[in-house]
Amino acid sequence: MLNINNVHKSYKKGVEVLRGISLNVEAGDLFAFVGQNGAGKTTLIKCCCGIHDFEQGEILIDGVDIKKEPMRCKKNLAYVPDNPDMYSFLTGYGYINFICDVYGMGDERKARLEELSRRLDIQKSLGLKISEYSHGMKQKIALIGAFIRNAKVLIFDEPFVGLDPFASSELKKMMREFCDNGGCIFFSTHVLEVAEKLCNKVAIIKAGQIVASGTMQDIKGDKSLEEVFLAGGE
């Protein structure tokens, strides 16, 4: 569903930040993407979402090339950035309705919003302006905006940052359910315990190259993911 083939990317000429990345995220996969600060996680995620261009390689979303048909890809893809930047003059309701309008959703949005906002415990604040929200509240609205659409591929950049323990626990359940229903999620995180418990697949990136990737069981064996990570991923 998300196929990344030999992607190379540099911000400055001659300095490659992604050095030939290949990964495959299949339907049903809950895929953790881990690596040190500055390793290239956000850069790859932004390439997958069509925000950054890249010099070499190919990224397919549900079989469609992000470079050739970005709009078709974006219909099947929902992305939550590491620092959601939303129109601060809109209310939570206004923002979610805007997203639903853009993606052509009808009245079914009402029941979905009710359910998702109840699960993330933000229903009482939907009428407030986003400028009045805390970081965690913004994160919840951005996540609802991703889950409410009928996207096949969800891409999250550090989705647990800023969420309280109740919301984190609920988000983990929502992610698991989404993948159990045939979707797939690719997300970056520094919380290795969460990745280890939640995900069936994992990739470790180091200085722009994948040093390990595969099923969680194959990568960590009898060790913890933290032990494997701290040992350099090999």
Ligand X SMILES: Nc1ncnc2c1ncn2[C@@H]1O[C@H](COP(=O)(O)OP(=O)(O)OP(=O)(O)O)[C@@H](O)[C@H]1O
**Interface residues toward Mg ion, by CB under 5 A:** 41-42
Quickly count: other Cβ atoms within 10 Å of residue 168's Cβ: 16
Q: Compute the half-sphere exposure of residue 39: CA atoms within 13 Å on the CB side of its CA.
A: 20
- Alpha helices for the chain (secondary structure H): 41-48, 70-75, 92-102, 108-119, 135-147, 165-180, 192-198, 216-220, 225-230
The DSSP output letter for 130 is G
In the 3-class helix/strand/coil scheme, how is 140-162 assigned residue by residue? HHHHHHHHCCCCCEEEEECCCCC
Q: Which does 76 bind (CB under 5 to 8 A by kind): Mg ion, ligand X, none?
A: none
- Largest interatomic CA distance in the chain: 51
Q: Which does 189 bind (CB under 5 to 8 A by kind): Mg ion, ligand X, none?
A: none
Q: Closest distance between ligand X and the C-beta of residue 40, in Å?
A: 5
Q: Which does 233 bind (CB under 5 to 8 A by kind): ligand X, Mg ion, none?
A: none
Q: Which residues bind ligand X (CB under 6 A)?
A: 11, 17, 35, 37-43
Q: Which is nearer to Mg ion, 92 or 162 (CB)?
A: 162
Q: Closest distance between ligand X and the C-beta of residue 27, in Å?
A: 26
Q: Which is nearer to ligand X, 40 or 162 (CB)?
A: 40
Q: Which is nearer to ligand X, 10 or 24 (CB)?
A: 10
Q: Closest distance between Mg ion and the C-beta of residue 45, in Å?
A: 8
Q: Closest distance between ligand X and the C-beta of residue 185, in Å?
A: 17
Secondary structure of residue 203 in the 3-state scheme:
strand
Q: Which is nearer to ligand X, 29 or 158 (CB)?
A: 158
Q: Closest distance between Mg ion and the C-beta of residue 50, in Å?
A: 17
Q: Which is nearer to Mg ion, 91 or 139 (CB)?
A: 139
Q: For residue 110, what are its two tokens?
A: 């009402």
Q: Which does 18 bind (CB under 5 to 8 A by kind): ligand X, Mg ion, none?
A: none
Q: Which amino acid is at 211?
A: V
Q: Which does 40 bind (CB under 5 to 8 A by kind): Mg ion, ligand X, none?
A: ligand X
| Pair 182, 162: CB distance under 8 Å | no
